[in-house]
Amino acid sequence: MKKYNFYAGPAILPASVMAEAAKAVVEFEGIGLSLLEISHRSKEVVSILDEAQSLVRELLGLSDDFSVLFLTGGASTQFFTVAHNLLNADKKAGYVDTGSWSTKAIKEAKAFGQIDILASSKDKNYSYVPKGYEIPSDLTYLHVTGNNTIFGTQMHDFPETSVPLVCDMSSDIFSRPIDASRFGIIYAGAQKNLGPAGVTLAIVRKDFLEMTQRELPTMLNYNTHVQKNSSFNTPPVFPIYVSMLTLRWLKANGGLAAMAAKNEDKAKLLYDEIDSNPMFAGVAAKEDRSLMNATFVMAEGKEDLAEQFLADCAAAGCIGVKGHRSVGGFRASIYNAMPREGVETLVGLMKNFADK
């Protein structure tokens, strides 16, 4: 029985990418060694890094004003690295609080400068994305979270402001075209929509590299990694390689515009079923629903059937549909690599569940 991976992360990867990566584990491109055991200074690994950076630039339309870095520590490390590099006691940053990850980013940033929470959707358990809030012009940056995996909301339009944007795009990067010129820093843990756990992508506008006004630990200084091409220390070679293969796959399948169309189609299929099926109810505000993580619950009065539905999902090969432990319910993560047939299988299961 074919299984479909609806986990939020580490998440689904394209089948062709996994097949190619598996070959590299045994022997990389005929050199007689596994990719896992060759030097990060070798021409083979340098070539992987160069191609990965080039593909990031091409897919996102980045100008030469940006540096592309492959780091470690996940987005959680970027929460404090951003503020550590850009703020001091006299500088101020604005944050929009849309869920668990933005809350953590705010907590970490407060150690390095003045943090203003400009808007929050905590009042309704993060079921919507705030809009219409005032953005002071004296901010060093405005930090937003592109997609909220736990609560199933997504920022479909980024705030209009002259202030540079810093965005955590961990779970929706490369899922749609963006105007990269509006951002000062974009960062993303790979394990949701780019590659396996273990590497973090950071895209830093070069003028931001000049803003550091304090002595930084070497590994937390973006300049360190720019100057050493992401290889100041041993980088996570294999996760970078798998990410490079995924970027190749994205390009070969039409780029970000094509991905956006496919993602919108898959999400519509699933949300239409959630809205029309009497057994289920959506969680997020309709205008802010995520195209990456669809959250839903049993309809009122049918909560006792939740475990039966999850059992049916497992029996049908739909794996990872249980909601995050902090909110419960259900969550179907439908990242780039999720084929439409996977969503069709889940929708068919939901129809059958209502029928029986």
pLDDT at 297: 97
Task: Work out the end-to-end distance of the chain between its first and last CA atoms, rounded to an integer number of angstroms.
Answer: 22
Residue 213 clears pLDDT 90, i.e. is over it? no
List all residues 6 or more positions away from 249 whose beta carbon is below 8 Å from its beta carbon: 14, 16, 17
Dist. CA 11–CA 38, nearest whole Å: 27
Task: Specify the DSSP class assigned to residue 164.
Answer: P
pLDDT recorded at residue 89: 86
pLDDT at 221: 96
pLDDT in tens, 233-280: 999 999 999 999 999 999 999 999 999 999 999 999 999 999 999 999
Q: Tell me what the mean pLDDT of segment 4-24 comes to.
A: 97
> Residue 313, Cβ neighbours under 10 Å: how many?
23
pLDDT at 212 over 80: no
CATH number at residue 341: 3.90.1150.10
Cis status, amide bond into 136, omega within 30 of 0: no
Which residues are catalytically annotated?
A: 101, 168, 192
- Confidence category of residue 11, pLDDT binned at 50, 70, 90: very high
Last-in-domain residue among 225, 252, 279: 252
- Tally of domains within the chain: 2
Same domain for 145 and 98?
Answer: yes
* Boundary-marking domain end, from 252, 269, 294: 252
Q: Are 37 and 162 found together in one domain? A: yes
**Same domain as 211, residue 270:** no
Closest CA to 199 of 10, 8, 5: 10
Is the pLDDT score of 81 beyond 90? yes
Domain range spanning residue 81? Answer: 16-252
d(CA 120, CA 96): 6
Question: pTM of the prediction?
Answer: 0.97
Q: Does residue 78 sit in the same domain as residue 22?
A: yes
Tell me, yes or no, whether 331 and 227 share the same domain. no
Same domain, yes or no: 306 and 294: yes
Express each pLDDT in 283-338 by its tens digit: 999 999 999 999 999 999 999 999 999 999 999 999 999 999 888 899 999 999 99
Q: Are residues 344 and 289 in the same domain?
A: yes
